[in-house]
Chains A and B, each alone.
Chain A
C-alpha cells in the first residue's frame, strides 16, 4: 500500500508525465475537454431557448426517428471499429494491415453517417425549414437544428479527414502507434457528442 502510494508520488515528482501517457495524449484530452465545452455552450443555448419557447415542435412529427436511430447506430458502430483499430495498432505482434482495415471501416461508418445527415438536411430544407424559418413552429427550432447538427457534422467530417490522413501515414509507416490512439480519442469524443445531441434534441 505504502509502496503504491510512493509510486504515485514518484510519478508526480518530475522527469516523467504523471499519467500513463505522453504529452500528446495529455494535450489531446485537454483539447477534447475544451471542444466538449463548445458543444456545452451550444446545447445550453438550445436548452435556454427551448425553456422559453411556447410552441416548440414535436420532434417525432418533424423527423423520421428511425432514420436518426440508424445514424446513431452507424456512428456508435464506427466507435467500436475505431476501438478495434486502436487495439490492433497497440499490439506489436499484429499485422499492420489489420489496423488499416479497421480504420477503413471507421471511415466508412463516418461517411455513411454524413450521407444520411445530408439526406436528412435535404428533407428538412425541402419541407421549408431555413436557418431563420421553421414551418413547424418556433423558428429557433430550425436555427438550433442546423447549428447543432451542422457543427457536429463538421466535427465528423474533420474526423474522417484525420482518419484518412492517418491511413495514408500508417501505410507509409510514418504514423506512430500513439497516433492511432489519439485519432481514436477524438473519434470517440465526436460520437459521445452525438449521443448528447441525439438525446437532448431528438428524443427528449
Chain B
C-alpha cells in the first residue's frame, strides 16, 4: 500500500489542547512524523509588552491551561529578582503550597489523561474527580477554580485562613487514602502494563541531548529536579525525595508522576507546619495604584520545576511601567517539537497519543 499520510489532531479526544502531528505511516508503523504547532498561538509575549506589569497577572495564567500557577510564580519571581524585592516569608510558604497543590492536580489529570488513549477510563474518571477536590481548595483560597491570578508581584493576593488550612489537611488525607486504590486498580492493571511497559523508550543520553526535563528525564535514571538543583522559595528547607526510574519507558513516566503526588503531599504538610503565622503576605511596591509600578532596568531568568519539567520566564525591563520583553520557556518545547520529529519514527500509530500524554506535551505553552 505504500506510505500513507495520517493526521493526529488538531482536534482529538486524546489530545490536551490543539496540536497536530502529521504522521507518514506504512501499515501500523510511523515512518516520519512532523509536529504542527500554532493552533493555540495567542501572541502572549507581544500582548505582555503592551500591558502594565501588574495587569499581566490576569493574562499569564492562560499560557498553560492544566497548571496555571507556575506562570504567575515564574513571572513574579522574575520581576522580584530584577526589582530586588523582599517577599514576606509567609507568602513564600503559601506560594509553595499553591504550586504543590497545582502539581498534584496536574498529575491526577495526567494519570487520567493516559487512561483515554489506552482505554482504561476508570483512570480518567478517578483522576478528574479527585482533581476537583483540589480545585475546591483553590476556589476557597483564590475565588477561582482554574485561573487563580493569586501569586502576584511581591507576594500573594490573600492570606491563607485557618479554615482553608483545615480544608487542605482534610483533602490531603483524602487523596492519600485514595493512592492505594490507584495503585491497585490502575497501576497493577494489565491494560496499562501491556500498553505502556517497554514502549517509547528513551535512553539517558537521548533525553539529555534532547533537553527534556521533568519526568521524561527522571524516568531514565537521572535525579535532576530544579527544586533540588536550584532551590527557589523554601524548597531547601523541606524534606522530600525525587523519585526516579531506570526503565525510561512510558510506564515508568506515568508511575513517577503518581509517586510524585505523595512527595507533594509531604511537602505541603511540612509547609503548613513550618509556615510562620501573620497577616503580611504581600509588600506594597509603589505608592498609589499598583498599575503605576515601575520596575528598574535589568533582565532576569526565573525558572521552576513544573509538573512537566523546567518552566521559565525571561523578563526584560527598560525601567518603564510595562515589560520590555517577556519570553516563556515552555516545559514541553523539546519533546513536543524535536522529540516528535526524532523519536516517533519507528513506533506504532497507537503510541503517538501516548508520547503526547506521557511526555506531557502541552500545546498552549509551546504555542504561547
Do A and B assemble together?
A: no
